[in-house]
Amino acid sequence: MIGRLNHVAIAVPDLAAASAKYREQLGANVGAPQALPEHGVTVVFIDTGNSKIELLEALGENSPIAGFIAKNPAGGVHHLCFEVGDIAQAVEQLQATGARVLGDGRARIGAHGNPVVFLHPKDFHGALIELEEVRG
Ligand SMILES: CC[C@H](C(=O)O)C(=O)SCCNC(=O)CCNC(=O)[C@H](O)C(C)(C)COP(=O)(O)OP(=O)(O)OC[C@H]1O[C@@H](n2cnc3c(N)ncnc32)[C@H](O)[C@@H]1OP(=O)(O)O
Ligand SMILES: [Co+2]
């Protein structure tokens, strides 16, 4: 079902400082910050050629990143995002196997303008998994 690793997301306490670190110490090509209030995050993407890194900072009061940073103040790997061809079909298949799709189970539009869902980390050995629909 899963295809290419679209991105590895890293939660950070300070997006500007983290972006500068990746740019200056790793020579990374860091994109512009993008606020996604509906997801409670501000993101930047770093193109690594065959995949991407997504740096995530908490935005707003109900951000899923705020709790993560409270537990991991220095930040850390937050999720892995894999591409799927048909997200509705992927959700149906996953739910049939007992995997928990977070939220109401319906896909929402993510940072790349594509539908995304998240799978509970307890169902995948402690890894939060995002699926992003990429067609064609
Ligand atoms: C979509 C825009 C953008 C994109 O790429 O397009 C993004 O990626 S936005 C990314 C941010 N959005 C999300 O993370 C949405 C999905 N996340 C959630 O629904 C929650 O964060 C959830 C359910 C994973 C955890 O929330 P909860 O309130 O239940 O937090 P707890 O601290 O109580 O956690 C319960 C339990 O899970 C462990 N946990 C939490 N987060 C992670 C994680 N990222 N990776 C691995 N494990 C995680 C946490 O440690 C708790 O475990 P316990 O053993 O009970 O201590
Ligand atoms: Co993501």
Per-residue pLDDT tens digits of the chain, which is 136 residues long? 999 999 999 999 999 999 999 999 999 999 999 999 999 999 999 999 999 999 999 999 899 999 999 999 999 999 999 999 999 999 999 999 999 999 999 999 999 999 999 999 999 999 999 999 999 7
Among candidate residues 54, 59, 68, 53, the one with its CA nearest the CA of residue 41: 59
Token pair belonging to 62? 């109900």
Instruction: Please tell me whether the interface predicted TM-score (ipTM) of this complex is above 0.95.
Output: yes
Atom of ligand 1 nearest to the CA of 7: 5
What's this model's pTM, rounded to 2 decimal places?
0.98
DSSP code of residue 43: E
Domain boundaries, the chain: 5-133
Strand, coil or helix: what is 58? strand
Atom of ligand 1 nearest to the CA of 36: 2
- CATH code for residues 5-133: 3.10.180.10
- Ligand 1 residue neighbourhood (C-beta within 6 Å): 9, 36, 39, 41, 43, 54, 56, 64, 67-68, 78-79, 81, 102, 110-111, 116, 118, 121, 126, 128, 130
126 Rama class: left (phi>0) / alpha (psi -120 to 50) / beta? left
